[in-house]
């Protein structure tokens, strides 16, 4: 359409449709999007989480009681600072890791990174949906009215935590790209994940299952040639933005 803004010329490495769409979005330009975009790096069939994860604790079991007691203990220990961080961490974006990597780790400086992690997020959500729909564990605030929440209440099942899995997956990928910051990145991923139990929308066992899911997804990604090609390009972009020496 005449006069309409157009998506700028893309870096030659941005090839996938999902990445192109996100790149255009970042440039405030419209893009025609297909209704269904297939997973970018791995399909849900590539990771059998039903075989990886144990089922959640049975209702009224000692394990379930311990889970609930832990949620209530976390609730009692909330501070204004921990709640504020948890509320910020509700946003599902790899750029929450700027707390570790610094202010230059931001979307506007890193278009390849933004597109890459958008595709990782889509793949992770598709994989986690296969088991969340299977188990449909009630959330802590549904099971016990004494649980108060400090973030918006999700409507999906509680087990495993997709949010925690995503945070751990972001951390694992970034740690692989930036081994110098590995410990700090993985610690930040844990804080990001555990915020969900702090705010009463997940049990600790949901978080632990999310971590196991992230590890399985990460292993499957490492077997994907397309992932490896994108990984190298994104690592270069991040290292250049953060003025780091390229790791070989």
- For 86-102, the pLDDT digits (tens) are 999 999 999 999 999 99
pTM over 0.95: no
- Burial of 62 by CB count in 10 Å (0-12 exposed, 13-18 middle, 19+ buried)? exposed
- Of the candidates 145, 141, 171, the one whose C-alpha atom is nearest the C-alpha of residue 154 is 141
Percent with pLDDT over 90 in the chain: 80
Confidence of residue 39 (pLDDT cuts 50, 70, 90): low
Region 60-241: CATH code: 1.20.144.10
Per-residue pLDDT of 5-19, as tens digits, reads: 444 444 444 444 444
Q: What's the confidence (pLDDT) of residue 244?
A: 73
Contact 188, 121 (CB under 8 A): no
- Does residue 46 carry a pLDDT above 50? yes
Q: 5-27 burial, b for 16+ CB within 10 Å, e for fewer?
A: eebeebeebbebebbbbbbbbbe
Quote the mean pLDDT of the chain: 87
- Of the candidates 247, 248, 239, the one whose C-alpha atom is nearest the C-alpha of residue 105 is 239
Largest CA distance in the chain: 66
Domain residues of the chain, as ranges?
60-241
Gap between the terminal Cα atoms of the chain: 46
The number of C-alpha atoms within 13 Å of 206 and in the hemisphere containing its C-beta is 34
Cα–Cα distance, 189 to 164 (Å, whole number): 8
Region label for 144, one of left (φ > 0), alpha (ψ between -120 and 50) or beta (otherwise): beta
Cα–Cα distance, 241 to 243 (Å, whole number): 6
């Amino acid at each position: 359409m005449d006069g309409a803004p157009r998506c700028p010329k893309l870096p030659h490495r941005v090839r996938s449709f999902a990445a192109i769409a996100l790149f255009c979005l970042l440039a405030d330009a419209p893009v025609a999007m297909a209704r269904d975009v297939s997973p970018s790096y791995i399909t849900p069939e590539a990771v059998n989480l039903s075989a990886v994860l144990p089922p959640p604790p049975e209702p009224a079991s000692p394990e379930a009681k311990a889970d609930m007691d832990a949620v209530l203990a976390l609730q009692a220990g909330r501070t204004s600072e921990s709640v504020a961080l948890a509320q910020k961490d509700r946003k599902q974006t790899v750029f929450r890791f700027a707390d570790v990597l610094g202010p230059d780790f931001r979307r506007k400086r890193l278009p390849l990174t933004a597109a890459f992690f958008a595709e990782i997020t889509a793949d992770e959500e598709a994989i986690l949906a296969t088991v969340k729909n299977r188990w449909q564990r009630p959330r802590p605030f549904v099971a016990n009215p004494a649980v108060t929440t400090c973030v918006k209440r999700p409507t999906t099942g509680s087990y495993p935590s997709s949010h925690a899995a995503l945070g751990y997956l972001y951390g694992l990928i970034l740690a692989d790209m930036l081994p110098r910051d590995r410990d700090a990145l993985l610690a930040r991923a844990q804080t990001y994940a555990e915020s969900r139990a702090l705010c009463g929308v997940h049990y600790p066992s949901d978080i632990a299952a999310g971590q196991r899911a992230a590890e399985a997804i990460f292993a499957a990604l490492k077997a994907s040639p397309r992932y490896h090609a994108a990984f190298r390009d994104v690592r270069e972009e991040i290292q250049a933005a953060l003025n780091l020496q390229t790791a070989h």
